[in-house]
Amino acid sequence: MALSGSFANSLAPYFRDVVGTTFERWPSFYSQHYHVETSDSAYEDYMHAAGLPIAVSRPEGTPTPFYDPIEGSTKRLTHEEFGIGVQISRELMMNDKRGAKGPIRTAASSLSRSMIERVEVDGADVYLNGHTSYTTIDNVALFSASHTRLDGGANQSNFQGTGAAPSETTIDAAMQQFESWYDERGLRVVDRPRDIIVSPYNAMAARKALGSSYAFDPGNTANWASYNAINTVYGALNLLVWPYLGASETRWYVRSPNHTIMWLWRERPVMDAYDDKNTRVAKFAMFMQYSKGPIYWQGIYQNDGA
């Protein structure tokens, strides 16, 4: 990175060190919930198409049936740029001892923390507002009971609007959704959920539902007669508690590795620095470009919770 001006130039290595350390200590959450890739274009397009239907009987001597592909719409993810900066006066630099809690170190750390927060908040937004603000390649909301098929078959659902907290029953129902889906030509989709994603609000309920091989609840006297009952979802899913969903958020999600919720980096966070000689101020700024969103709806299920 080329820097002009001795003031900014003298501070830049220190800023880089603090910013880099802050990023290294970042317990990244968003990357657990997206397929993270890079892009070298202003946007990326994804095409919607259907394959072939189930093979049919072909009596001897008869022509082989051929089918044309069914082409659907296009899903485009367009990158957006984000940035933020901080300025340091020459007087502050002269007076600051660059201690662990000094104002310059705080400013440098806050610069990267601001970028991190933007990424994490945006990462959670797709999940939190997938029923309203984010559509998939079929032009339907990510979480919906009305996903269409290109062959005109019956609509499909990955959404439970009459919600309930995670439990043996509700988690089992969510997992069954993955067994009920068909592709655009009506062929069975064989997929297995791997994760259950909850906010801190539902963490206790999810741990109870997944953490014991017994369905018996010692706090519920009505269950004492069946204390040997088996918990059918014990260990079935990997529990992910996502703080950025919000401490009071009731929605929860079941997801397979085959989901297509994408995060595309056009430019990962970079820092620039320069002098304002008129005010004797050094300015430090960070920038990044990315896009995010769902391509297809299968591979993830949402329950509205309670």
Task: Please give the sequence-ordered ranges of beta strands (E in DSSP) within the chain, or none if there are none.
Answer: 35-38, 43-50, 70-78, 80-89, 159-160, 195-198, 238-241, 252-255, 261-276, 281-294, 300-303
Locate all alpha helices (DSSP H) within 131-286, ordered by sequence. 168-179, 203-210
Both structure tokens of 289: 């470009």
Per-residue pLDDT tens for 163-217? Answer: 899 999 999 999 999 999 999 999 999 999 999 999 999 999 999 999 888 765 5
Mean pLDDT of 22-48: 93
Q: Which CATH number fits the domain 6-46+73-303, given the four candidates 3.60.21, 3.90.1690, 3.30.160, 3.30.1050? A: 3.90.1690
Residue at 97: amino acid letter: K
Give the burial class of 192: count Cβ atoms within 10 A of its Cβ; 0-12 exposed, 13-18 middle, 19 or more buried.
Answer: exposed
Percent of the chain residues topping a pLDDT of 90: 63
Domains of the chain by residue range: 6-46+73-303
The mean pLDDT value of the chain amounts to: 88
One-letter amino acid for residue 101 of the chain: K
Model pLDDT for residues 119-171, shown as the tens digit of each residue:
999 999 999 999 999 999 999 999 999 999 999 999 999 999 888 999 999 99
Percent of the chain with pLDDT over 70: 88
pTM confidence score: 0.86
- DSSP of 75-93: EEEE-EEEEEEEEEEHHHH
Pairing of strands 159-160, 300-303: parallel
Question: What pLDDT is attached to residue 287?
Answer: 95
**Local confidence band at 2 (pLDDT 50, 70, 90 cut-offs):** very low
